[in-house]
Structure 1
Amino acid sequence: MGGGLVDDGGARLIFGCMGLGGGWGTGPLEAAHVKAAHEAVDAALEAGIRDFDHADIYAHGKAEAAFGRVLAERPGLRDRIRLQTKCGIRLPVPDKVGQYDSSREWILAQAEASLDRLGTEHVETLLIHRPDPLARPEEIAEAFLQLKEAGKVGRLGVSNMSAQQMRWLQSALPETLAANQLEMSLHRSGWLESSVLVNHDDAAEIGFPHGTVEYCQAEGIELQAWGALAQGRYSGAPGTAETGSDAAAAALVAALAEDKGCAPEAIVLGWLLRHPARIRPVLGTSNPGRIKASGEAKRVAESMSRHEWYSLWVAARGRALP
């Protein structure tokens, strides 16, 4: 396998490993799944990506296991990349509903299980995957500090949390949260709408908690955008962008891609990178071609004008700004 770091064009991108491991079926990890993981990792490295995002539940653990096989078969790779994983979701099993669990015991157990599947002694960052209404900040902090002192986890972050939830958790932590991973894209733009619709009747329709992006910026908490490629709706995914605002935005993405000499994926990601919050898009695709195409996003962001950025947003939202 290859995998040299060609350039740093994708340095702000994160490869999301949810698609590895052969999907969410309960069957065993197969050789074909490991081969596909090698190919995806090669594409990510070629695009300049050094950060890889996991979760204990992805493909019922097979995503981490597949990546662990890649690391085992490529000595030296672990020292050239950064890993993060998430815990805190219990998938449904017979006689038990799906639930969230940020208890000390669950965090410790799942972190150990992830390290075992990945075949590594530590991860740079551990994220709490979803807010748990039964969580106690001091328990989360205790689990994190135990893992950190053992050299198994570098920093603690969160996913899908509001500013108030982060403040609540931060009250028990001795250091600033590393990151907050949220759904953010040209399609899912509530993170923008919540800001511009302040003092506007339409604000009630926005589910995104206002002030979250601003809080992260003020506190130095990295913003990571999952779903950044919007499931390919603006870059040719079958059955998407056929009518309405999706079609208009896809047409504009295609036109800008032709003008800038890049793939549509780079336009969609470049739009996120153009925002001053220094958002880090998480690529949810495991298609090597789409991963490589994303490596141009930094160049696109640097060349994207204010007019182009707003034009994309307005096209995707389907109506003029208030």
Structure 2
Amino acid sequence: MKYHTLANTDLHVSNLIMGNMRLTELSLQEAEKLIRTAMEEEINFFDHADIYGPDYVGQCEEYFANAIQMNSSLREKMVIQSKCGINSAKNYYDFSKKHIIDSVNGSLERLKTDYLDLLLLHRPDPLMDPEEVAEAFNELQSSGKVRHFGVSNHNPAQIQLLEKYIGQKLVVNQVQFSIAHTPIIDSGISLNMGIDQAVNRDSSVLEYCRLNDITLQAWSPFQNGFFEGPFLGDKEKFGKLNEVIDRIASKYSVTNTAIAVAWITTHPANIQVVLGTTNIQRMKDASKGSEIKLTREEWYDIYKAAGNMVP
């Protein structure tokens, strides 16, 4: 497993992350086995959000702690991240001081821990008062409840606005990224071309984060579009892509899942990959992609096979 230190922190983290959005689809016994498999594969980073859980807020956080029987010894081996800012009951975003602090207190209670290594603001709130966010962050940091802060699905200007007021460095931005969903790359590679691929949809967030030492985390690394289904194995829609991935997987003696991971981790930005799988074998397969460094030719072959133009 490949590790690196998150910039502006003392956190030494795996480049793969176990995501827990779907954890409650498993029995408690199955969930424990999945978590322990991740740890055996040397994944030390676990991603949560207060809204994860089909039945009530925080259900997946609670399920995680109960499944693993969280204790101080286990906690020391984990980097735990959670997200807040979405009021799922009323379907709006809320970056108020009260909501942020209440969300963290709830996450800590459910996860049976005294602190979060990272807290991310989940999706941008157009009604955000950055000075109010700053007050919440200061209170959470001074109390020891949150050690580091970041965002999810934020563009550069939104990050800059926050950092103008908060006293902490934002160290993470979690965005959607996979072989079949590449807007953070597309516009840069096809600059000045009058094609759809050249449209800048995210204000060059990849380059901005690299320039400012913000680690990108890729969610839905096996998805096509916005939850339109996995591209791996979809020979009808992604026949050429699967053909190329399978050929490269054979060369490295791994599965297609490992190559989908390696395509992301090969990028020099040290992007972390959030694995949302509930399948133990897929977790193991993905882990084998952590340290594979694809050649430049292989990386571009995969990018082109997904239907992208290299001008």
In the superposition, the TM-score normalised over structure 2's length comes to 0.89
1:53 aligned partner: 47
SS at match of 1:36: helix
Q: 2:18 corresponds to which letter in structure 1? A: F
1:177 aligned partner: 170
Q: Which runs of 5+ in 1 are unaligned?
A: 1-6, 23-31
Residue 286 of structure 1, CA deviation: 1.5
SS at match of 1:117: helix
Contact 2:70/2:112 (CA < 8 Å) preserved in 1?
no
Match of 1:121 among 108, 114, 120: 114
Residue identity over aligned pairs, in percent, reads 34
1:269 maps onto 2:269 in alignment? no
SS at match of 1:15: strand
Match of 1:311 among 297, 301, 310: 301
1:255 maps onto 2:247 in alignment? yes
Match of 1:155 among 148, 154, 179: 148
Contact 1:229/1:284 (CA < 8 Å) preserved in 2?
no
Match of 2:21 among 6, 18, 22: 18
Q: 1:280 corresponds to which letter in structure 2? A: Q
CA distance in 1, matches of 2:131, 2:192: 36
Q: Which runs of 5+ in 2 are unaligned?
A: 4-12
Q: CA RMSD in A?
A: 1.9
Residue 205 of structure 1, CA deviation: 6.7
Contact 1:71/1:78 (CA < 8 Å) preserved in 2?
no
Residue 280 of structure 1, CA deviation: 0.6
1:197–1:319 CA distance, 2 compared to 1 (3 A): closer
Superposed CA offset, 1:17-72 (max 9, x none) = 111123xxxxxxxxx63212201112211221000000000013211011111343
SS at match of 2:73: coil
SS at match of 1:58: coil
Match of 1:66 among 57, 60, 63: 63
Q: How does 1:1-12 map to 2 (within 5 A)?
A: 11-12=14-15
CA distance in 2, matches of 1:187, 1:206: 16
Match of 2:193 among 196, 200, 211: 200
CA distance in 2, matches of 1:88, 1:252: 40
Residue 73 of structure 1, CA deviation: 5.3
Residue 270 of structure 1, CA deviation: 0.3
CA distance in 2, matches of 1:206, 1:263: 33
1:321 aligned partner: 310
CA distance in 1, matches of 2:149, 2:84: 11
1:186 aligned partner: 179
Residue 242 of structure 1, CA deviation: 3.1
CA distance in 2, matches of 1:44, 1:207: 36
1:141 aligned partner: 134
Q: Larger deviation: 304-313 or 69-78? A: 69-78
1:291 maps onto 2:288 in alignment? no
Residue 298 of structure 1, CA deviation: 2.6
Residue 203 of structure 1, CA deviation: 4.9
1:80 maps onto 2:77 in alignment? yes
CA distance in 2, matches of 1:268, 1:134: 37
CA distance in 1, matches of 2:84, 2:203: 25
Query: How many residues get paired?
Result: 295
Contact 1:33/1:66 (CA < 8 Å) preserved in 2?
no
CA distance in 1, matches of 2:45, 2:288: 17
CA distance in 2, matches of 1:110, 1:277: 30
Q: 2:259 corresponds to which letter in structure 1? A: I
1:233–1:274 CA distance, 2 compared to 1 (3 A): same
